Amino acid sequence: MRIYFDHAATTPVDPQVEASMRPYFAGRFGNASAQYEEGQLAHKAVEEARIKVADLTGARPEEIVFTGSGTESNNMAIKGTAWALRDKGNHIITSSIEHPAVLESCRWLERAGYEVTYLPVDEYGLINPALVEESIRKETILISIMQANNEVGTIEPIAEIAEVARRHQIKLHCDAVQTVGNIAINVVELGVDMLSMSAHKLYGPKGVGALYIKEGTSLASLLHGGHQESGRRAGTENTVGMVGFGKAAELARERLIQGPARLEKMRDTMIDGIMKRIKWVRLNGHPKRRLPGNVNISIEFVEGEGMLMHLDMMGISCSTGSACQAADLKASHVLLAMGLSHEMSHGSLRFSLGHLTTEAEIARVVEVLPGIVEKLRAMSPLTVKERVNA
């Protein structure tokens, strides 16, 4: 049995979600926009799913637009706002630790003449709401800040940033792909105008996301065509995916009643266990304000990919922010923005826990990791004084 510690990357589809989707492949295959019975069955299923996603986030169903991914939701919020408000201004504020779906959308807009401020973060990955306020110009049309960072799990002060945005009457978008389903959230209490989510992070299928768009928010569409999604997102509805997302949202809501306390406890057990058994380890991200299932550490003098491969061969999956593991051979932009040295980002490992994670699995990692680290450290030419004395 493999031990899966990469739930921040994606989660397995819940068996109940899978079962909910199955009828819509061949049986109830109708086009949700069609007026006859097959179409109406599909339409009803899509609208029920919309209600469930709305219920999970405190939105109203008509404020939820289904998309093809969290990436698309982010693109739509940013490019759609930029286009809709192009006569008002050309400045966007975001942070330096956003997901590439946000960062690259912003960079694309920069090439089109927009200006973007990428806010720095502190050593814990926190964004300072006061800095957001200082960066506002009269041309500012959008603030886009993630609710929780996917790599280090730091939870940002969105409500405070929303307060700033409201005071200056600037639209606020929030990438909540890592939080929806993992912590209780409410779009009204957060005070955001747009919020991105993705089904595959909450035991739903891949390739379906949603964007909450507060009533009255002007937003241009990215995909033009038919009248689906109230004309906001053209394309025949992905009924199967939407139904799955709806079921996943419903199940997440039930799980959240218990609260994420069990995950938090396991997370802290894992962090403590690793810190106790391995020297020269740093916790990345905020000790308290962090996602319930996120463990991100940097182990000095070793490189992440080597650790990852050793763990993989022992049946354990996790991820690293090391440059060696990146397709572009660049170290994690999140860790660098938090001030980590190149060496420290090299030695980073992220274990992301899920609701099926067991204490035995945590114990297994805590048991095998020290041996792997010791072996790789013996191979490493990096040394510090303490290491010589150890």
Which residues belong to the active site? Answer: 324
Give least dist CB 325 to ligand FES, A: 8
Between 202 and 302, whose beta carbon lies closer to another protein?
302
Rounded (5°) CA angle 252-253-255? 65
Q: Report the distance separating Cα 316 and Cα 371, nearest Å.
A: 14
User: Rule CB under 6 A: is residue 65 a binding residue for ligand PLP?
Assistant: no
Sheet holding 209-213, edge to edge: 64-67, 209-213, 194-198, 171-175, 140-146, 91-95, 115-119
- Structure token digits, residue 338: 């938090």
Interacting partner of 306 out of another protein, ligand FES, ligand PLP, none (Cβ under 5 to 8 A depending on kind): another protein
CB closer to ligand PLP, 178 vs 239: 178
Question: According to CB under 6 A, which one of 162, 177, 210, 331 is a site residue for ligand PLP?
Answer: 177
- Other C-beta atoms closer than 10 Å to the C-beta of 82 total 25
Return the number of the residue (189 or 312) whose C-beta is nearest another protein.
312
What is the phi-psi region of residue 302: left when phi exceeds 0, alpha when psi lies from -120 to 50, beta otherwise? beta
Q: Min. distance of Cβ 348 from ligand FES in angstroms?
A: 14
Show the 3-state SS of 95-117: ECCCCHHHHHHHHHHHHCCCEEE
Residues within the interface to another protein (CB under 8 A): 301-303, 305-306, 308-310, 312-313, 322-325, 327, 329-331, 342-343, 346, 378-382
Q: What angle do CA 214, 219, 220 make, to 5 degrees?
A: 150
Is 99 near ligand PLP (CB under 6 A)?
Answer: yes
Q: How, if at all, do strands 294-299 and 281-283 pair? A: antiparallel
For the CB of residue 149, give the shortest distance to ligand PLP in the complex, in Å: 7
Q: Which is nearer to another protein, 215 or 328 (CB)?
A: 328
> Closest distance between ligand PLP and the C-beta of residue 43, in Å?
24
Q: Which does 150 bind (CB under 5 to 8 A by kind): ligand PLP, ligand FES, another protein, none?
A: ligand PLP
Residue with smaller CB distance to ligand PLP, 215 or 328: 328
Gyration radius from the chain CA atoms = 22
C-alpha of 43 from chain center = 29
- Residue that the structure tokens 């060496």 belong to: 343
- The partner in contact with residue 384, picked from ligand PLP, ligand FES, another protein, none with C-beta cut-offs of 5 to 8 angstroms by kind, is none
Between 70 and 129, CB nearer to ligand PLP: 70
**Closest by Cα among 331, 321, 315, 264 to 297:** 321
Judging by DSSP bridges, how do beta strands 91-95 and 115-119 pair with one another? parallel
Closest by CA position to 105, among listed 88, 89, 120, 92 = 92
Q: x/- site string to ligand FES, residues 302 to 341, per CB under 6 A?
A: ----------------------x----x------------
Site residues (vs ligand PLP, CB under 6 A): 69-71, 74, 99, 101, 146, 150, 175, 177-178, 198, 200, 209
Binding site for ligand FES (CB under 6 A): 324, 329
